[in-house]
Amino acid sequence: MSLEQWEQWEQSERERVSRVLPAAPYPEPAPGRVEARREHFLNEADRQTRSRSPRPALRPRGRWGLVVGTAVAAGATVVVLSVGSGFSDAPPDVPPASAASVQLLERAALAAATTPQTKVRGEQYTYVKTVGHTSVLSETDSGVMELSREDEGMEQWTSVDGSEQTLQRRGGIDHLVPGTPGRGNLNSPTHSFLAALPVDPDALLKRIRDDAEANHGAGSDSTMGPDQEAFVTIGDLLRNGATPPEIAAALYRAAALIPGVDVVSHAVDAAGRHGVAVTRTHDGERTEWIFDKSTARLLGERTVLVEDTAWGKVGTVVTSVALIDSGTVDEAGQTP
DSSP codes, 235-261: HHHHTSS---HHHHHHHHHHHTTSTTE
Q: What is the band of 36 on the pLDDT scale with cuts at 50, 70, 90?
A: very low
Q: Give percent of the chain above pLDDT 70.
A: 70
Q: What is the pLDDT of residues 62-96, one digit of tens each?
A: 222 222 233 333 333 333 333 333 334 555 578 89
87: exposed, middle or buried (Cβ count in 10 Å: 0-12, 13-18, 19+): middle
What pLDDT, on the 0 to 100 scale, is given for residue 189? 93
Check whether 148 has a pLDDT greater than 70.
yes
- Better-predicted residue by pLDDT, 225 or 115: 115
What pLDDT, on the 0 to 100 scale, is given for residue 34? 46
Q: What is the pLDDT of residues 167-210, one digit of tens each?
A: 999 999 999 999 998 989 998 999 999 999 999 999 999 999 99
Check whether 240 has a pLDDT greater than 70.
yes
Nearest one of 172, 168, 310, 133 to 240, comparing CA atoms: 168
Q: What is the pLDDT of residues 11-32, one digit of tens each?
A: 665 566 566 555 554 444 445 4
Give the ranges where 52-114 is alpha helix by DSSP (H).
99-113
Q: What is the band of 51 on the pLDDT scale with cuts at 50, 70, 90?
A: very low
Question: How far is residue 19's CA from residue 285's CA, in Å, rounded to a whole number?
Answer: 24
Across-strand partners of 138? 146
What pLDDT, on the 0 to 100 scale, is given for residue 241? 81
Per the prediction, the chain carries an average pLDDT of: 78
What pLDDT, on the 0 to 100 scale, is given for residue 44? 41
- Full-prediction pTM beyond 0.85? no
Q: Rounding to the nearest 10 degrees, give the CA dihedral for residues 19, 251, 318, 299.
A: -60
Element (H, E) at 126: strand 125-139
What pLDDT, on the 0 to 100 scale, is given for residue 116? 84
Q: How far is CA 270 from the centre of its chain?
A: 17
What pLDDT, on the 0 to 100 scale, is given for residue 168? 96
What pLDDT, on the 0 to 100 scale, is given for residue 5? 57
Q: What is the pLDDT of residues 251-309, one digit of tens each?
A: 999 999 999 999 999 999 999 999 999 999 999 999 999 999 999 999 999 999 999 98
Q: What are phi and psi of 201, to 5 degrees?
A: -60, -40
- Better-predicted residue by pLDDT, 35 or 128: 128
What pLDDT, on the 0 to 100 scale, is given for residue 224? 75
Q: Give percent of the chain above pLDDT 90.
A: 56
Check whether 108 has a pLDDT greater than 50.
yes
Question: How far is residue 102's CA from residue 16's CA, in Å, rounded to a whole number?
Answer: 12
What pLDDT, on the 0 to 100 scale, is given for residue 194? 95
- Better-predicted residue by pLDDT, 211 or 218: 211
- Better-predicted residue by pLDDT, 310 or 59: 310
